[in-house]
Amino acid sequence: MDSPVTDSPIAVRPARVGDVPAMARVLVRSWQETYRGLMPDSVLDDPGLVGVRERFWKAALVDERYRANRVAVAERDDAIVGVAMAGPPEVPEPAWELHLYVLYVLAAAHGSGAGAALLDAVIGSDQPAALWVADPNPRAQAFYAKHGFVADGTVQVDRGVREIRMVRGSRRPAAPQPTRR
């Protein structure tokens, strides 16, 4: 497992293929910390979930389809404590250039600046962007609002979790879209 989180400074850098196992563990642990009670325990506690996430991260880093994506990790004391990925929207959207697909920080590193540094690493502060965030998840929603994102009224259900879309710097007001997925 990753080494214990301390009060050491956070460093953010582009992710590398060698980071994949730690990235998968951080994502799964973050899901368990964040979505317990929102997502079925059978999903969160699936012993194969880390392997599935390892395949996801490896593809995100080496598959040509994801070449335009930006993937970063946050480290403290040489242990990965957060992960983020942004890239072009799956469905082209003229209102924003980027979609924040992943941003997770271990609970022990909340408040350390890791989340903000990861967000800046994968989405520039001047770039229009969109993301989906669990609802309810007041901590994450407040974090995104602090960074200029606002809910646009669009809702979807993904893996049994209700999500709202938040957008930042859109070139035009986003109209609510039908729920998808």
Of the chain, the percentage scoring pLDDT greater than 90 comes to 75
Rounded to whole angstroms, how far apart are CA atoms 72 and 167?
21
From the list 41, 166, 35, 171, the residue with the least C-alpha distance to 96 is 171
Rounded to whole angstroms, how far apart are CA atoms 145 and 166?
8
Instruction: For residue 62, give the H/E element and its range.
Output: helix 49-62
* Fold for the domain defined by 11-168: Aminopeptidase (3.40.630)
Q: What is the pLDDT of residue 6?
A: 53
In the predicted model, is pLDDT for residue 169 greater than 90?
Answer: no
Q: What is the pLDDT of residue 127?
A: 84
Rounded to whole angstroms, how far apart are CA atoms 47 and 45?
6
Q: What is the pLDDT of residue 5?
A: 45
Q: Angle at Cα 116 formed by Cα 112 and Cα 118, nearest 5°? A: 100
pTM, two decimals, is: 0.87
In the predicted model, is pLDDT for residue 83 greater than 70?
Answer: yes
